[in-house]
Chain A
């Protein structure tokens, strides 16, 4: 049974446009022209318990708006939303106790006090029994390495440390559903890896459902088997990440290093050359042909090193957006973005 169900969700904002300058201000004062910005436009999907789903899209695509609708902060213009059987916009206590929304740029920790103080307040607000609180705190402290941080004033923590404490605060009540909006934004590589590991671990241990938005493809590839791609509020793709890559970019990337320069051989015979530099080269080769081409190259060329890779997922996703943009231009649609995603 699906846990999260979106059915033809639409979220439109009314925005008025103002011409620049003083005349524009006067005109706008007398008569306002409103038009709809379609932040989310007929979005539908269903997610089962325990899934980790990546929510991808360029800025302004409607990702954050969708997460806010799912967590009850925004209510739909039309369409229906159901999470754990609840209607999020009703904001029932029983619902809010089972979810959490972590937004990279917003914080709930009290700035002037140590993080542990906010934890205690949350424990009371969410009515967490003492024993469970202790257990969860120990688990989070272990997984996120919080021990040295808990008693320091939040404003004295670094961004990465603060983020870890924010995540801990958001998970203290052991929510079943996690909405993570750019949880690794602004963090260094080590911290990103740690957070990723944590999310995977948490999902394993508690069978929590996770919807994750991120601009870092590494987050998505590490955690998500399924991705939902949206752009300009519309659904572009919903399914396996691997399958998407194979559909959009039916090539593999072969990187070669030559032991000495090629005499007479032309690389173009083997595939699409995308880069050459000194004694290195990169080629794109159709998937099915890869084993044969690789074998031929190894036999015929003076190769000292070779690797065969999937094309970077960033390329794949960029191509998805480019295709969508082209389709929109063909349909003659405007290119207005939603304000805060």
Chain B
């Protein structure tokens, strides 16, 4: 299996290199966190808001932007297109679940992204020297684990929505709703602790938190041991849910595809 992934990755990387200009632009367009940063930056001018100083907001949103970049997923567009145009049939002739090809394509992008992001991160650090994170080794490891979890949950969620193209012609709308919710409840509009406490209490257990906010929360050092443990557990729970739902949808979807074909 490893050999297959290696081969798929090689191919995806090669294909990505063909689109050098595109790559750069995709990587640089990431407006939302910066917009929100501008809002909270000016709002916290007069003093901290719910425990977040101006510097805290800067730290938060810059890292959020990085996490966003390192977890982007676009597989729904690829899947939707290929299902509709019958291109999926070609993939189904191979003795390999098409999921792996899509995963490898996304992974290849993630391998290349840091090369564009690291210079930007350094630039941001120079502009905002007061940004601070908890960089204790254990924390860094947990951050990376949460980052991987965020990427996976975003991917599998979009993939599942993409598979709905087997049934409905409008799976993208569902995905848009999902995306909207993840912006609100995933920490983009505001750090989750800034919401009313009953909203935060619910949001802490929803998958959206683990798609974006959780890695940043870990890096901020504001989570207690208990918080961390519960967070990781919840994240793993949603990863598990994602896998289970994907398998169920895929099995039914492929049966339906085989009934109607393309």
Contacts and interface: CB of A to CB of B under 8 A. Distances in A.
Interface of A: 13, 65, 68, 71-75, 89, 91, 93-94, 96-97, 100-101, 103, 106-108, 110, 112-113, 117-118, 120-127, 340
Q: Which 6 A-B pairs have CB atoms at the shortest separation, nearest pair first?
A: A124-B7, A93-B95, A96-B95, A75-B258, A74-B261, A112-B18
B7 A97 contact: no
B15 A110 contact: yes
A227 to B, nearest CB: 25
A71 B93 CA distance: 7
Interface stretch (B61-69, B84-92, B159-167, B182-190): B84-92
Contact of B90 (A74, A106, A340): A106
A73 B10 CA distance: 28
A174 B89 CA distance: 20
Interface in B201-253: none
A91 B251 CA distance: 12
Given A71-B93, A117-B14, A121-B11, A89 B3 contact: no
Given A75-B259, A89-B258, A121-B8, A101 B94 contact: no
B260 interface: yes
Given A110-B11, A125-B7, 18 more contacts: A65-B261, A72-B92, A73-B93, A74-B258, A75-B259, A89-B258, A91-B92, A100-B93, A106-B86, A108-B90, A108-B93, A112-B15, A121-B8, A121-B10, A122-B94, A124-B4, A124-B7, A340-B262
Measured as residues with beta carbon below 8 angstroms from the partner, the interface class of chain B is: 20 to 34
Nearest to A99: B93
B118 interface: no
26 contacts: A13-B260, A68-B89, A72-B258, A73-B89, A73-B93, A73-B261, A75-B255, A89-B258, A91-B92, A93-B95, A93-B96, A94-B95, A96-B93, A106-B87, A106-B89, A107-B90, A112-B18, A113-B18, A121-B10, A124-B3, A124-B6, A124-B7, A124-B8, A126-B94, A126-B95, A340-B261
A74 B258 CA distance: 4
Contacts of A108: 90, 93
Contacts of B4: 124-125
Interface of B: 3-4, 6-8, 10-11, 14-15, 18-19, 86-87, 89-90, 92-96, 255, 258-262
B258 A96 contact: no
A165 to B, nearest CB: 14
A124 B6 CA distance: 9
A117 B90 contact: no
A75 B15 CA distance: 34
A120 B7 contact: yes
A121 B8 CA distance: 6
B11 A113 contact: yes
A89 B255 CA distance: 9
A13 B92 CA distance: 20
Contacts of A110: 11, 15
Residue among B93, B94, B95, B259 having the largest count of chain A Cβ atoms under 10 Å:
B93
B37 to A, nearest CB: 36
A93 B4 CA distance: 14
A125 B96 CA distance: 7
Nearest to B90: A108
Contacts of A340: 261-262
B94 A125 contact: yes
Nearest to A89: B258
B92 A73 contact: yes
A125 B89 CA distance: 16
Contacts of B86: 106
A123 B96 CA distance: 12
A233 to B, nearest CB: 15
Residue among A121, A126, A127 having the largest count of chain B Cβ atoms under 10 Å:
A121
B102 to A, nearest CB: 14
Contacts of B93: 71-73, 96, 100-101, 108
A117 B95 contact: no
A242 B96 CA distance: 42
A129 to B, nearest CB: 11
Nearest to A68: B261
A314 to B, nearest CB: 30
Nearest to B254: A91
B11 A97 contact: no
A97 B259 CA distance: 23
